[in-house]
Amino acid sequence: MRRGHVPVRTCIGCRKQRPKHDLLRLVSTENGLEIGDIEGRGFYLCRDVDCLVRAVKGGRMKRFLGRSLSDLESAALMRDVSGQNSLDGACGKGVICCSCTGGDPIA
C-alpha cells in the first residue's frame, strides 16, 4: 500500500515495512546511540516497545550496530520508544523487565 513516493523502510523488530516518518531512525555514533537522520551505521524501528524488545532479543540490534547496547542506551531507547506509544512492554509491565531482556530490569 504505497501512497505516492513516501519512502518506506523496514523495522528491524517486526520486519514490517512502514513509511519512513513512522519509524525511529537509530544510528550508532561516536557519542553513542542517537535518534534522527544521521549519517552512520543505523537502522529503523517502529515506535513500539514490542519491536524494540524483538530487535534486542533477536540479536538484530547488535548485528545492525556492530556492537551490544549498553544498559544506559537500552534504558534511554526504551524511554524514547515508549514515550511515543502506549506503555506496553512485552510482559505488560510497561517497561522492559528482567524476564523480557534476560538482564537487569530497566526502570
Residues of the shown chain interacting with Zn ion in the complex, contacts defined by CB under 5 A: 11, 13-14, 46, 51
State which residue, 49 or 51, has the beta carbon closest to Zn ion: 51
Instruction: Give Cα 72 distance to the centre of its chain.
Output: 14
Q: Tell me how far, at minimum, the Cβ of 51 lies from Zn ion, in Å.
A: 3
Q: Tell me how far, at minimum, the Cβ of 30 lies from Zn ion, in Å.
A: 27
Q: Which DSSP symbol is given to 14?
A: T
All three cell numbers of 16: 514490517
Q: Tell me how far, at minimum, the Cβ of 86 lies from Zn ion, in Å.
A: 14
State which residue, 91 or 104, has the beta carbon closest to Zn ion: 91
State which residue, 27 or 51, has the beta carbon closest to Zn ion: 51
Question: From CA 15, how far away is CA 51, in angstroms rounded?
Answer: 9
Which candidate, 69, 77, 19, places its Cα nearest to that of 51? 77
